Amino acid sequence: MSGVLKPGDTIGILGSGQLGRMIALAAARLGLRTHIYCPDSGPAFDVCAQFTIAAYEDEKALAAFADSVQVVSYEFENVPANTAAFLAARKPVRPGPRALAITQDRFTEKSFLNDLGIPTAPFAAVDSVADLEQAVATLGRPSVLKTRRFGYDGKGQTMIREGDDLAHAFNSLGGGACILEGFVAFAREISVIGARGLDGSFAAFDVCENEHANHILSRTIVPAHAHPAIQTAAIAMAGKIAAALDYVGVITVEMFLVEEAHGAERLVVNEIAPRVHNSGHWTLDGAVTSQFEQHVRAICGWQLGSPARHGAIEMHNLIGAEADDWAALLAQTGVALHLYGKHEAREGRKMGHWTRVLPEKG
């Protein structure tokens, strides 16, 4: 198979955050080198073989970066599409630029999902206050107004409730291209983290259940509280999405689990993340193959590893000053602590996480 790497080769990673750091650590364990490219320094720089600080629009620096690696990947979805296309003309980019382009735009992403027959919240494009008024009349209140691009951890969105001023809501997000989503009364948020190999094989970790605080992931437990049939359906959806994108690498599909009458459940896909994901950090300690090693295996064209769990798992993010409790966490038996090497603990900033693996009940 063409495009298969070997130990000693170099993976190029766009982005220098903690996800890039953990991919680089997984790659090093398998005898691979990493070259991080980012306009700003970050925690991934501490663990890679080489790094470049340059703009994503700097074609001279990008060309040199491409010449130094055998494959390119990315740790976040807001890499400019032109950057991915420029690199893809020189070296394999995995996941491909199409996955990046679709997931960068919420309207495009939801349209793609609906075209596959996968349910999402009802939605409408909003480019003006008049569009918003019409969309609210159709979708009702409450509903959620989001920027089409560049939102994460609750940023770039606002709730539309009864009595809210629509012009103020639209302008508060910058007055640019937005999407209005109908409100989904969900019981739980879950996510599926799976990987698709260069050969088309697909392997998924068990479904995660996620809890948020202030729009930031706070806690993940595995297995999720969901009927087995729903978990099977969720994994099948993720596999269908990955196949439709001709995807290579780890993909995350975030979903709402909606409880119907008489205990029935249904799934609504919220969004796709074309990368390793915060809700999969438990796999570092709780799975045979971590999501980061799985991503490395996939983009290198290697056989995917086993996603099997070691037990029942909980993962907690350390946000801001919570990371100051590192010594107390280290003293707890059974707690695995991961700190990301960030030097400043700002409010809302992910500084690390800890994981506990317990024996499976029953």
Residues 6+ apart with CB under 8 A from 348: 153, 214, 216, 319, 320
What is the reported pLDDT for 261? Answer: 83
Residue 1 has pLDDT above 90, yes or no: no
Find the mean pLDDT for residues 67-95.
Answer: 96
pLDDT of residue 150: 81
CATH 3.10.20.30 fits 122-182, yes or no: no
Q: What is the pLDDT of residue 215?
A: 87
Cross-strand pairs, 123: 181
Q: In Å, what is the CA distance from 239 to each residue of 247, 250, 361? A: 10, 11, 28
Interval 35-52 mean pLDDT = 98
Write out the two tokens for 357: 């693996």
Q: Are strands 350-358 and 265-273 parallel, antiparallel or unpaired?
A: unpaired
279 and 53 Cβ atoms separated by less than 8 Å: no
Which CATH class name applies to 188-358?
alpha beta
> Considering only CA atoms, which of 246, 239, 248, 241 is closest in space to residue 198?
248
Return the pLDDT at 247: 98
Spatial distance between the Cα atoms of 355 and 318, rounded to a whole number of angstroms:
11
pLDDT at 2 over 90: no
DSSP state of 126: E
For the chain, the average pLDDT equals: 96
pLDDT score of 153 more than 90: no
In angstroms, how far is CA 25 from the centroid of its own chain? 18
pLDDT in tens, 115-125: 999 999 999 99
Q: What is the largest CA-CA distance in the chain?
A: 61
**Intrachain domains 10-93 and 122-182 with the same fold:** no
Tell me the whole-structure pTM to 2 decimals. 0.96
| DSSP conformation class of 120 | B
Average pLDDT over residues 132-151: 94
Burial label, 183 (beta-carbon count in 10 A; 0-12, 13-18, 19+)? middle
Question: ω before 122 within 30° of 0 (cis)?
Answer: no
Q: Residue 4 corresponds to which tokens in the numbers above?
A: 């298969």
Does the pLDDT of residue 104 top 70, yes or no? yes
Q: Which pLDDT score, from 0 to 100, does residue 361 have?
A: 77
In terms of Cα–Cα distance, which of 233, 191, 205 is closest to 292?
A: 205
Q: What is the mean pLDDT of residues 153-158?
A: 79
State whether residue 229 is helix, strand or coil: helix
Report residue 154's pLDDT band, with 50, 70 and 90 as the boundaries. Answer: low
Burial (CB count <10 Å: 0-12, 13-18, 19+), residue 262: exposed
Which tens digit of pLDDT belongs to each residue from 20-31?
999 999 999 999
So where are the chain's domains?
A: 10-93, 122-182, 188-358
> If pLDDT is split at 50, 70 and 90, which confidence band does 264 have?
confident
CATH architecture of the region 10-93: 3-Layer(aba) Sandwich (3.40)
Please state, in angstroms and rounded to a whole number, the distance separating the CA atoms of residues 76 and 37.
Answer: 12
Read off the pLDDT of each residue in 296-309 and give the average, rounded to a whole number. 98
Strands (E), 4-147: 10-14, 33-38, 50-53, 71-74, 123-126, 143-147
Query: Residue 317 pLDDT > 60, yes or no?
Result: yes
